[in-house]
Structure 1
Amino acid sequence: MKTPLLTLSFLLFAFTTQADIVLDTNGKAGNSTYPVNVLKPFSEIDLGKPLRFLPLIRIGIIPTDTFLNIEFVHTPVGVSSVNWITVKDLGETWTVGIGGPEDHEGSETLGGLFKINKSDLGYKLSFLPYINGPLSGDIGTYIDDDRKWRLVVTNGEPCVVVFQKVVVESS
């Protein structure tokens, strides 16, 4: 069985006042499955892993400026869940991670919701925690000590995302 998927090239967060429909580079999208790079590879050829956007209100499309959960389609080995969360694991920097608190022993974790918003060159992502607090903002990138591109919650430069339709064989 073939399942249509979309791919994220880069990520970015912001808030807007007018909602649009999230579209892929072919001008189409809907209640679909998407791949994303939580750790952005150096190669532009690597499009990431399959990802689902789960709006709180499911109407068959993904409007911009709508709260949603993000999760991977397949659970990576050694992780309890596919859900995106934030993890305070780079000093005072909050990174985007997956799983639950049990997967990030020794690090503070915080669940929340994400938004996709329109940008001049594509889309931006933002994060808002479930509980009130100072942590909210755009999703940007940070190169860690191991030279890995990490997704981080930032009030600085967000990362821009585009969606591309791909077909993945499901088993």
Structure 2
Amino acid sequence: MKLALLAFFFLLLNSSTAEVVLDSEGEPLLPGRDYYMVRFIWPGPGGVSLASSGNNETCPVDVIAVPCCRHCIPPTENCNGEALKFNPLARIGIVTTNLPLTIRFAKTPSCAQSPEWILVKEEGAWLVGIGGPEDYPDKEILTGLFLIEKAGAGYTLKFCPKHLPEICGYLGLHSDANPNWRLALTNEAPHTVIFRKAGDGNSAI
């Protein structure tokens, strides 16, 4: 019920300002389809993937930005990272800006409690991960919804907590102790991305 109220809150705000979110081919982003979410500005991290850390050393539940270096020896083989699915709570045929939605990886490890993105308090920051309380013992967790916003020729992501829908924050990058570039809430420049179609993953979940 709380997620439904959160979705309704943003649908009211979204009704007059929404734009269709476009992929790298200029086509609308479709709910449930598989997309790579890659950094808009190069050089830098590529797409996103999952990694293991001190939270859970046996199950990859941390959302990281994939290191990408095409000119290195050897070059990075996969700059796209892993595919994602964007699923709005509202049953509509396309994804628009400022539309509340959940995000999940197209393929997720069976060891994780849940495939959907959440935020976890660690290292003094709110970091993006997947799973649930069992995957992050003794950690504070936030659930909520994500919004896509237009940012020049690319897009940024916002996270809005379920219990405080009026307080949203942009996602940026945070260097952890491993070191990995983790997606995290930021007060600095947001992580700007574009969306690329991934393979033939067209089925909605």
Normalising by the smaller structure, the TM-score range is: 0.7 to 0.9
Pairs within 5 Å for 1:87-98: 87-90=120-123, 92-98=124-130
1:161 aligns with 2:193: yes
Match of 1:61 among 81, 84, 94: 94
Q: Which amino acid aligns with 2:35?
A: Y
RMSD of aligned alpha carbons: 2.3
Deviation of 1:166 (Å): 3.0
Q: Aligned pair in 2 of structure 1 residues 156, 22: CA closer, same or farther (>3 Å)? A: same
Please state which structure has a larger fraction of its residues in strand. Answer: 1
Residues 28-37 or 100-109, more deviating: 28-37
Counterpart residue number, 1:112: 144
SS at match of 1:49: coil
Deviation of 1:121 (Å): 3.1
Which has the greater radius of gyration?
2
1:76 aligns with 2:109: yes
The answer to whether the 8 A contact 2:170-2:187 is kept is: yes
Counterpart residue number, 1:51: 84
Q: Distance in 2 between matches of 1:94 and 1:105?
A: 15
Q: What is the number of residues matched between the two proteins?
A: 155
Q: Distance in 2 between matches of 1:147 and 1:80?
A: 24
Deviation of 1:66 (Å): 0.6
Listed as ranges, the gaps of 5+ residues in structure 1 are: 1-14
Counterpart residue number, 1:19: 18
The answer to whether the 8 A contact 1:137-1:153 is kept is: yes
The answer to whether the 8 A contact 1:85-1:99 is kept is: yes
Q: Which amino acid aligns with 1:34?
A: Y
Q: Aligned pair in 2 of structure 1 residues 129, 143: CA closer, same or farther (>3 Å)? A: same
Q: Aligned pair in 2 of structure 1 residues 35, 82: CA closer, same or farther (>3 Å)? A: farther
Q: Distance in 2 between matches of 1:96 and 1:150?
A: 7
Deviations 1:10-52 (A, max 9, x none): xxxxx98721111111101322222341301211542121211
Q: Aligned pair in 2 of structure 1 residues 122, 46: CA closer, same or farther (>3 Å)? A: same
Residues 62-71 or 42-51, more deviating: 42-51
1:144 aligns with 2:176: yes
The answer to whether the 8 A contact 1:136-1:153 is kept is: no
Match of 1:132 among 164, 176, 179: 164
| TM-score, normalised relative to structure 2 | 0.69
